[in-house]
């Protein structure tokens, strides 16, 4: 990938899951309701995240996009497609959050 999104893969042995996550922006404690509404709306039935989930780390205000993959994968050949889709969604949300905050 071209480095536009930093994606971390983390294996959870206890749950037998591969967690894929990326920081897609930051928000301050006084984040506007419009930003929160966008994040929550995207999470509703995962309609704006392609199956991933958006969340905010309380301490640092990091907006995290996360996706879990049950292991072992039933079709391991889909891994590249899953990651490519995740990277695209991460890019889209990075731009969307900047836009919502009035940044370029």
pLDDT of 64-91, one tens digit each?
999 999 999 989 889 999 999 999 999 9
Q: Is the pTM of this model over 0.85?
A: yes
82 within a domain of the structure (yes/no): yes
3-state secondary structure of 49: coil
Query: Please, which pLDDT band fits residue 2 given cuts at 50, 70 and 90?
Result: low
Query: Could you tell me the residue range of the domain that residue 78 belongs to?
Result: 8-100
pLDDT of 1 over the 60 cut: no
For residue 9, give Cα distances in angstroms to 6, 19, 70, 86.
10, 6, 13, 12
Is 2 part of a structural domain of the chain?
Answer: no
Nearest residue to 7 via CA among 26, 23, 31, 27: 23
Question: Is residue 72 situated within a structural domain?
Answer: yes
CB contact set of 31 (below 8 Å; sequence gap of 6+):
56, 61
How many domains are contained in the chain? 1
3-state secondary structure 59-88: CCCEEEEEEEEECCCCCHHHHHHHHHHHHH
Residue 1 falls within a domain, yes or no? no
């Amino acid at each position: 990938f071209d480095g536009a999104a930093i994606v971390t893969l983390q294996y959870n042995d206890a749950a037998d899951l591969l967690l894929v996550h990326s920081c897609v922006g930051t928000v301050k404690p006084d984040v506007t309701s419009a930003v929160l509404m966008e994040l929550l709306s995207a999470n509703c039935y995962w309609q704006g995240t392609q199956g991933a989930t958006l969340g905010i780390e309380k301490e640092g205000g990091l907006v995290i996009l996360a996706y879990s993959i049950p292991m072992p994968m039933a079709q391991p050949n889909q891994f590249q497609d899953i990651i490519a889709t995740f990277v695209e969604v991460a890019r889209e949300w990075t731009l969307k959050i900047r836009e919502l905050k009035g940044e370029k």
